[in-house]
Amino acid sequence: MDAMTGTDDGPVRLAPPRAGGLVRERLIRRLDPVLSARLGVVAAPHGTGKTTLLAHWAARRPEHLVWHRADPADAQPERLLAGLARDVAALVHVPEPSSTAGLASLLAADAGRPLCIVLDDVHLIIGTPAEAELERLLLLCPPNVHLVVAGRQAPSFSLARPEFSAVVLVDGEDLRFRADEAHALFRDVDGLRIDPVRVLDLVHATDGWAAALHLFRLHTMKRSPVERHRAACDTGAHYAWDHLRRHVLADLAEDEAELLRVASMLDLVTPRRCDALLGTSGAAATALHELGRRSLLVDDDTAPCLRMPEVVRRYFADELRESTERDTYAALRGRAVELLERDGALGNALALLAADGRWPEARRLLVRSGAGAFAPGSCAWAELVPPELTGTDPWFALAEARRLFDDGRLAGARAAACRALTLAGGTGCAVIATELRARSAAWDAASEELPEGGPGGEPPLRAAIRGSPAAVARSLGADPREEDLLASGIASLLAGDRRTALPVLRRCAERLDRDRLAALAAQLVLALFESDEAGAVPDASAAEIEAVHRHARCGGLSWLARLTDGMLAVLSGSTAGDELAEAVSRDCERRGDAWGAALLHAAALLAGGSGGASSRQGYTALAGEFRALGADVLAAWAMSRAAPPYGPDAVPSAAGFPEGPLAGPRPALRGPGSDGTDDKGAARCLTGELPAGTGAPSLAVTCFGGLAVHLGGEPVDLAEVRPRARTVLRLLALNAGRPVHREWLATTLWADLDEARALHNLQVSISALRHVLDPRGAGGGRRAVLRQDDSYVLVLGPSSWSDLAEFDRLLHEADRAHRRGDPARAAVALQGALDLYTGDLLPEEGPAEWVVGARDRYRLRAAGTAGALARTRLSLGQEKQAVGAAARSVEINPWSDESWRLLIALLRDSGEVAEAERTRRRYCDMLASLGIDAGTDPRRR
């Protein structure tokens, strides 16, 4: 291992370890903000890959870097600071300073270049005088010094101090291996071929614990593929238990171990439950806090509950069974069931009874609890029920129906619900079985059974997807009931009304404690559709989806967990992720989960970008899948992407679904027959089959900096077009390739007229536009403006171009390049998008309500793009280009604190001290204009 690399003029790194394994790009990106912050903290249990991550990160960064690994002797402050002083002095070739102040002065004297100090195993000095001295050193250091500490615990000094600016935190949840990363580790690093679905099982069983994955590799390296696959299904992860005993649980006190053994029976761990089971009073809270600090229990995001990592839970569950006498064990489990039943945690209580095979008690609990025992996600335990019980007992048949429904197996769920209804007789489960049968039938396209109450009883969300989202959204009203929030939000989104949809979905997502399934579904939709920033934070959507996945798995919602597994794999942008996503899709098909397979196919097509025959063929096949599911709206959308008469190769939004006008509702895309009719004209538009002579002309539409239209390479003179017709064109250009409802156009532009006159004026304007944009005369050639049902669309043919669509496409490409770990390609795409932004969107429309929202949004996206470009350029060592991009971000959005701070930091780090100070003063002036006192240094606000 080299002690030092680099020269006086180039990067210097002192003693960073050489680490093998998989380089995880998302974690590298997670640490990168340390270079513009003062402090980074990586805190996680033993064996989670902290040192490996820091070594990979250090190897990729161009900055000067000092690496120090703490040992127990460093608890003495003079020992720790002497080691740091020796390393820093060797870097700058000066004598070693003898004090903390001297070391800080030495670092300040070399403030012209950034220096990163990595301190590993910091937990060895936490709570000692050395930690206090480390905090003092950090406070004395100049802004060019960045400290990264890693250990089993976070430092005890306050991370909220204003001097630290924004602290970068990476914890055990972040370090967990995602399934695509584990697949890449085994396939590309270890050379092991394992079925990707089995890799998923392994990640679930180990919670993605790096040490457990490494031990699995050692455990199975010399085994046959069949034995390896079998070992991956070992939900107990027994191969990791010895490591767990020696390195994670070695210093565990007996009372703490006893607490964990008892807690292993609980899905959600609380002090009250533990005290009740242990027969103590108030003692559990302190112990649980300490165990949480050591990550043996983790936050469940359901305050004040904790949960136990899966490997730890299996280990202590086995210990409880082996170390407890049979009668005592049975009595303890019985008390746990009673406690959980009183708490309403029926799924957990029934799981304990099912694991012990206590079926009569389980049945009595089902009868007592009624509908509460069949809530979404509460019947995963039913997989353990013997077939003879599910075939002869209505309550167990109903539990099986709920389990299959939660797993997306609609046909099986409907059959089990029907069996439960047949067996029910006069029992209380008949009503529950009837409702579950109706729900299964409503979503199962193969079912010919009408929802309870006939067509009018169809669930609103199903009706919206079947073909009338705008009507569903209107029927639910502007303030939908709590149980209708999800349906209302998705219906509005499908109808193109993001402005209405997103607040409703946010309200739904916040209600996790009331309707977990609806809240998680809303959170997933928001993760895919809410963010307009592409490139700047490439992992934001993945982090949200991972949170949904975690809650879905813990809550027994296996269909949603499997869907998010596949989506996370798709978003990884790696070949391993692509393989995993395809395997999850096949697993959905094998299970009979047609909805999961179709949605994953859609996600894969969207993440793969657009363009090319294979992409169009994929969308055509996807449209067939959605049509078979009775999802006409989604089928129509897929066909519009497969052979579009508008929007051929562009990605219209970061999420991929078409957006409607930003200031009003738009009609749903509807396929033929969605309302019992067969509108052939609409069908041709949706499938790309245009009438003869109406092929799309070659258009180039520019909206940034003002509207400009080119037809066949020649500019279109719009001077003779009346002002209101030009406004119609600008509105259609804003939504180029997407239909805009004529009633919305009419009421937006002629609000002072009655409906008939407004529609007449719109038709006159459309006629005038067609005359200008039709190269062969009105109606005689290839039309640029087409009528689709009650909507108009500005057509983008295969050779047409829109700066807005190209802007979105380039950001999508940059996002994908970031996920693939290709910053050079990401920089090219980000630069291309930034070059397109030549000014505000359609400035000639002034403060018109319909354009203001889109204008502000694109301005923020452009500023975010410039900031992302600056950070990407910096990671490539292109400091001057990074400064230029950061300056452009400030120019576009002068009210962004982040843009100003990024520019100031880059100027300082590149040695432009005077310019950095001038920029800092401009920043202070901007804050003062807003009535904000920045103090002497805006970094300390």
Residue position matching structure tokens 């950034």: 114
Measure Cα distances from 123 to 72, 149, 164, 573 in Å.
9, 9, 20, 35
Cα–Cα distance for residue pair 608/604, rounded to 1 Å: 6
Q: How far apart are the first and last CA of the chain?
A: 42
Report the candidate in 926, 883, 917, 881 with the shortest Cα–Cα distance to residue 903: 883
Both 21 and 151 in one domain: the answer is yes
Token code pair at residue 168:
């970068």
Both 720 and 851 in one domain: the answer is no
Cα–Cα distance for residue pair 544/518, rounded to 1 Å: 15
Query: Tell me, what CATH number does 138's domain have?
Result: 3.40.50.300
The secondary element (H helix, E strand) that includes residue 151 is strand 145-151
Query: 918 with 906: CB under 8 angstroms?
Result: no
Both 730 and 830 in one domain: the answer is no
Both 834 and 712 in one domain: the answer is no
pLDDT on residue 798: 65
Both 790 and 904 in one domain: the answer is no
Cα–Cα distance for residue pair 665/499, rounded to 1 Å: 9
User: Is beta strand 115-120 parallel, antiparallel or unpaired with respect to 64-69?
Assistant: parallel
Instruction: Tell me, yes or no, whether 584 lies in a domain.
Output: no
Token code pair at residue 507:
């309200």
- Among the candidates 419, 454, 489, a domain finishes at 454
The secondary element (H helix, E strand) that includes residue 802 is strand 801-802
The secondary structure of the chain in percent helix, strand, coil, rounded to multiples of 5, reads: 60, 5, 35
Both 79 and 161 in one domain: the answer is yes
Query: Which residues, 6+ apart, have CB-to-CB distance to 914 below 8 Å?
Result: none
Residue 482: alpha-carbon gap to chain centroid: 25
Parent domain of 738: 699-799
Provide the number of structural domains found in the chain.
Answer: 6
Cα–Cα distance for residue pair 40/54, rounded to 1 Å: 11
Cα–Cα distance for residue pair 854/858, rounded to 1 Å: 6
Instruction: Tell me, yes or no, whether 402 lies in a domain.
Output: yes
- Among the candidates 438, 454, 470, a domain finishes at 454
Q: What parts of the chain have a pLDDT lower than 70?
A: 1-15, 62-63, 91-98, 106-113, 163, 165, 301-304, 426, 446-457, 531-539, 609-614, 643-697, 775-782, 797-798, 933-941
Report the candidate in 444, 500, 455 with the shortest Cα–Cα distance to residue 631: 444
- Taking only the tens place, the pLDDT of each residue in 663-698 is 232 222 222 223 333 333 333 333 233 333 444 457
Query: 380 with 556: CB under 8 angstroms?
Result: yes
Token code pair at residue 602:
């859609």
Cα–Cα distance for residue pair 313/206, rounded to 1 Å: 10
- Among the candidates 152, 175, 198, a domain finishes at 175
Both 844 and 856 in one domain: the answer is yes
Question: What percent of the chain is predicted at pLDDT more than 70?
Answer: 84
Return the bridge partners of 300, or none.
none
**Cβ-based burial of 57 (10 A; exposed 0-12, middle 13-18, buried ≥19):** buried
DSSP states of 440-489 as a string? Answer: HHHH-TT--PPPTTSGGGS-HHHHHHHT-HHHHHHHH-SS--GGGHHHHH
Residue 753: alpha-carbon gap to chain centroid: 45
Report the candidate in 263, 255, 269 with the shortest Cα–Cα distance to residue 299: 269
Q: What is the pTM of this model?
A: 0.73
Cα–Cα distance for residue pair 558/201, rounded to 1 Å: 12
Both 524 and 405 in one domain: the answer is no
Angle at the Cα of 391 (from 386 to 395), degrees rounded to 5? 85
pLDDT on residue 598: 94
Q: At 895, is the secondary structure helix, strand, or coil?
A: coil
One-letter amino acid at 598 equals A
Both 89 and 9 in one domain: the answer is yes
